[in-house]
Structures are given as structure tokens and as C-alpha cells.
Structure 1
């Protein structure tokens, strides 16, 4: 079963700003109805949907909390109908600042667990909540957001990278279980993006170094990532599941 992007309702977790906002804009551009989830970024999320218009709306929820997710889906159902596509982009607070990162000798399990709770726990909560809807209609698309730091940990952000590695594993096991329901589950992994709130702390010289190392000679943008996310929701990817697409200008070969 395939459906055009313009026929879909899409939930973007952590969609109020940064990469999430670019993903929301990309789906909206293609005619989809977009539910923009936010946890704390109400002002940014409401400004985004005001700019996009009536096919977009903002919904607050902590995606690690099943009760909040259920209430959010009730509100989305009332506005657009339940989501056909889940883009799990939500990220626990994080800044890509190599100088301020938690080094291995003083990294705590609490820091690791905080990243895992949002990356993997948020994906689990949202997928569980949407699985009955996906099963009923025999169709669903789940896209998770990863990182090329798993292939090239040029800066050892232990907590963030470990959480994204676990999310990739969960993406693949979920693809195996949900496939018979007509659901594909894939990951899109970016490099350092120019520029999001998380990468704003990265020195400009680092962007230039990365650009010089890529075959395309430039750093990936949030818009580049967002367009790759569209592929996994579109009919063209109907036979693709359990995959990790690296979008970083060819910096690493996955």
C-alpha cells in the first residue's frame, strides 16, 4: 500500500525548532498535514505553525510520558486525524561543544540515561501509541533521526552517540515486527548540521574543516536532512525498511 505525501498526516516530535522545524516545513511543502510536537519550545512551535498555516498545528507533550503522548494523539485526531507518519526527532537537551562535552572519566550514567530516555524511550512510547492505528489501516511510516558519529566519532560525544546507536538497533527490530502490518521503519542520520540550536556552539572553523573533507565540499543543512526524511515517507521507499540513510555530503560511507 502506498499513499502520496499530500494524503498523509505527519507527527514530528521535537518539531518546533532546528531540524524538526525543517522537517515540518518539508512535509508541509509537499501538502501533508503536520502535527508539530514540542516539550518546552512553545513560542517557536507556535510561530512555526502560524507561518505554515491551517495544515499545521502545535501539540505539547513529553514524548517519554505515555499519558502525555496519548493526550497529544487525541488532540491530533480531533484536528487532523491520527498520524500516518511518525518522525522521531526529539532530542534531550544537548549542545555539540567538544570543549564542554562529558569526558569518559567523568561521564555519569544519569547523563547517558537522559539521552537514551528521549531517543529510545520516546520512540517506544510513540510507536506503541500509534501501532493500533497503523495496524487498522495497514499502513504506517516511522522515521527516526540518527547521527554519522556512529560511523565516525570524530568528537566522542559518548551519551548522545550511544543513544543514537541504540535507536538504530531499535529502528531495525521495530522494522522486523511492524513490517507485517504494512509499516516501514527507517533512520536518517546526519552529520553536523549548519546550523541548529544544538550545533550553534560549534566553532565556525569546525564547519569549514568538515566541509573540506566531504566530496560535495559543503556541510549538510537541516533542509538537506529534511528532504531525505521525505523519501522514507513517500511511495518511492515502499520496499525499504530497517535501513539507515546517512546524509552528510559523503563524509562517511555507511
Structure 2
């Protein structure tokens, strides 16, 4: 298995929030990084350099994903070896404004399913020829602890991430014989990203008080934990869900 410094890592939604923290963590460890973005061109350009290239693509669109993989291989001269599915459809962790059980629509669910499931499906399938070329591959899906402990019942977001965990495990089973691991890293509410900016401070404080570590996880902390699943240390680990939330829930 490749060391992180030898890998070419795609981070979807890699220009902002948790995605940016993931891009920065992999760059710090010497990886070459494809910073995927949808609309955040300026933020993505800030990360571009000798070891990072910013490429626009809506991961829900298969042709755009295909083009992104081709551009990445042309830029670096080698295929993507690691896929981190971090892209998130427009969403705000605002408990007061969230749709309640009595009035949430199937369209809200479909929006989240399309981003989480179709996005991951597109990137993983497009990565497979490159994985075959290098003899192995790593997929890291970003999940949530909300389907274990719905502190705030964000119905659509939570259901989509639960489906992504199922995809993580079934793909791990199917792709394992090809030396491809598929794992998930799940945070709780992160302090702070664009999606969690609408969360009141008292909610952050309430969550922190309920954790053994007495704090709310940061994007950087979650990103650093994700490195394990890309490293040689995780070579015998697949189909797993690592919860990184300061111990709020135990998995």
C-alpha cells in the first residue's frame, strides 16, 4: 500500500469547511491533492500549488466527474489513488429552521440522497480503473453520528448519511478482493463550518458538556483522524465507521 506522501487524493467539496480541512491535512502529510469544488472557485484556487490542483465538477453529474478524473491524471501524470467523499448538498444545521416530521417533503430527502449516494457512486466508479492500475485504492466517506444519536432530528441529512454507511459496507465487501478499502469517518456537529454557522452557541456548549473530552470536534480534528484510513496502518481495515466526536456517542 502507498504511503500518504505517495498518494493522489481527491477531496470532493475540498475547498470549504470540512473539505478544506481534509485537503490541508493531506497536503501537510505530503500527498498530492485534487481539490474538487462546485461553486467555490476562489477558495479552491487558494489551495492550488505544486501539490494541489483545483478542479470544478458537480459530483452528481457523471460526465463532469469523468472529466475531473481525466484532468487530474493529466495534471499529475498518474491516477487518483484515494477518494474522500466530503461534498455536501446545500444544507444548514439550523434546528429552528429545519423541516419537522409533519411537513418535510420527499424532495428534501432526494436532494440529500443525490449528493451523498450518487456523488459517492460517481467518484468511486470513476476511480476504479485508476485503482486497478496502481493495484489498490482507498475510499473514505464522510458520515455523521446523528443516525446513532439524533441530538437534532435533521431527517433528510441523517437518512442520506445512513444510506452512505450502507454503501460503505456493501462496497467494502464487493471491492475488498481488488485490494480496495472503503471506510467512513463520522463527526458530530463541527465547530465551525459554513453548514454549522447557524447553530447557536448554546447548542455547541450543550454538546461539549455531554462529551468525555468536554469539547466540540473541529474540522481539523476530524480531518486528521481521516488520515488513518488512507495510511498503510489501516491496510487490514474496511467497512468500518470511525466516529470522531469527542466521545459523544460510542460506536
Pair in the same fold by TM > 0.5: yes
Distance in 1, matches of 2:130 and 2:74, equals 14
Aligned to 1:18: 17
After TM superposition, where is structure 1 displaced by more than 6 Å over at least 4 residues in a row?
A: none
Matched, 1:59 2:55: yes
How far apart are 1:46 and its partner, in Å?
A: 1.0
Write the distance in 2 (CA, Å) between the matches of 1:236 and 1:137: 18
Q: What is the Cα deviation at residue 137 of structure 1?
A: 2.3
Deviation at 1:186, TM superposition (A): 0.1
- The correspondence for 2:172, drawn from 172, 175, 179, is 175
**Aligned match for 2:110, one of 94, 100, 113:** 113
Is residue 2:185 matched to residue 1:185?
no
State the Cα deviation string for residues 167-193 of structure 1 (Å, max 9, x = none): 000000000111111100000000110
SS at match of 1:252: coil
User: Match of 2:120?
Assistant: 123
Counterparts of 2:131 and 2:79, CA distance in 1:
9
- 3-state secondary structure, aligned to 2:194: coil
Map 1:1-254 onto structure 2 (within 5 A): 2-49=1-48, 53-80=49-76, 81-254=78-251
TM-score by length of 1: 0.97
Unaligned runs of 5+ in 2: none
Deviation at 1:136, TM superposition (A): 2.8
Which blocks of at least 5 consecutive residues in structure 1 are unaligned?
A: none
3-state SS, counterpart of residue 138 of structure 2: strand
1: CA distance, partners of 2:212 / 2:21: 24
Cα drift, residue 48 of structure 1: 2.6
Q: TM-score, normalised by structure 2?
A: 0.98
2:18 is paired with a residue of what secondary structure? helix
User: What CA distance in whole angstroms lies between the structure 1 residues aligned with 2:210 and 2:151?
Assistant: 12
Alpha-carbon RMSD across the aligned residues, in angstroms, is 0.7
- Residue 250 of structure 1 and its aligned partner are, at CA, apart by 0.2
* Between 65-74 and 127-136, the greater mean CA deviation after superposition: 127-136
CA distance in 2, matches of 1:103, 1:118: 21
- Distance in 1 between the 2:218 and 2:47 partners? 18
Aligned length: 250
Deviation at 1:43, TM superposition (A): 1.3
